[in-house]
Amino acid sequence: MERRGFLAAGVALIGGAIAAGLSWLGGAFVAATSRWPVRSARRWAAICRLSDLQGPDPVAASFSFRRLEGWYAATVTRQVYVTRDERGAPVVFSRRCTHLGCPVTWREQSRTFRCPCHRGVFDPQGRVVDGPPPRGLDVLESRIAGEMVEVAEA
């Protein structure tokens, strides 16, 4: 009976080792394929002139950039609104509603950003006024370069 126990332990050990090795390999592979490639340098895209921001309304703008999606070099376009914050500095809002990602639109009459999908409403500074969005509009990292407003590609 000792021999039987020894062999059964061997079966469990070898079978377990094969299963564990394969599981680790599969898990690590899936994890690695589920990450974006890491960029070492940040690139900036010009989206509008500072002088475009004189009026009372946010300015709709967009920028495109190339990025590597795994093995595929894709061109990605982002829709944004550019406005000024309470101190007058340029601020860039993503048009993606923070609820489920539909594009918000600026309404001049009510002076709000409105989401067409589930009636999310944001004020001119991107704060939630009404509806289901869990947080204000996402702010994209931006900077002023000369006369231009630039936004970080992401």
Partner 1 sequence: MSAREPLRAFLAEWIFDKKVPAGTGFLRALGTALLVLLLVQAATGMLLALCYVPSPDHAYDSIRYVDEDLAASVGGRTVAVGRLLRGVHHWGSSAVVVLAFLHLARVYFTGAYKRPRALLWVVGVAIFGVLLGFGFTGYLLPWDMKAFWATDVGLNIVETVPGVGPMLADLLRGGPELGAPTLTRMFALHVLFLPAALLPLAALHLFLVHKLGITPPGARVGEPEVRSAPFFPDHVFRELLVAAAALALVVGLTLWLGPPLEAPADRDARGYDPRPEWYFLGLFQLLKLFEGERVVIGTVWIPGGLALLALLLPWLDRNPERAPARRPVALAAGVVLLAAIAGLTIWGAWSSPTNRRPPPPRVPAGDGSWVPPPSPPIEPPGPAALPAPADGGASDPERAARLAEGEKLMRFYECTSCHTYHGKGDDVGAGAPELVGAAREHDVAWIELYLLDPQRINPGVEMPSAADLEMSDADRKTLAAWIKELAPQ
- Counting contacts by CB under 8 A, is residue 134 touching partner 1? no
Contact mark string toward partner 1, 7..46, x via CB under 8 A = xx-xx--xx-xx--xx--xx-xxxxxx---xxxxx-x---
Amino acid symbol at 98? T
Name the one range near partner 1 by CB under 8 A: 5-13, 78-86, 118-126, 127-135.
Answer: 5-13
Kind plus residue range of the DSSP H or E element containing 21: helix 2-33
- Counting contacts by CB under 8 A, is residue 127 touching partner 1? no
Least distance from partner 1 to the Cβ atom of residue 151, Å: 16
- Among residues 34 and 54, whose Cβ is nearest to partner 1? 34
Name the one range near partner 1 by CB under 8 A: 53-61, 67-75, 97-105, 114-122.
Answer: 67-75
- Counting contacts by CB under 8 A, is residue 144 touching partner 1? no
- Among residues 21 and 101, whose Cβ is nearest to partner 1? 21
C-alpha separations of 151 from 34, 91, 94, 131 in Å: 26, 10, 11, 28
Q: Are 69 and 33 in contact (CB under 8 A)?
A: no
Compute the distance between CA of residue 99 and CA of residue 93 in angstroms, rounded to an integer. Answer: 14
Rounded to 10 degrees, the C-alpha dihedral 42/47/51/57 comes to -120
Q: Are 137 and 126 in contact (CB under 8 A)?
A: yes
Task: Kindly report the backbone phi and psi dihedral angles of residue 139, in degrees, each rounded to the nearest multiple of 5, phi listed first.
Answer: -100, 130
Residues of this chain that interact with partner 1 (CB under 8 A) are: 4, 7-8, 10-11, 14-15, 17-18, 21-22, 25-26, 28-33, 37-41, 43, 66-68, 70-73
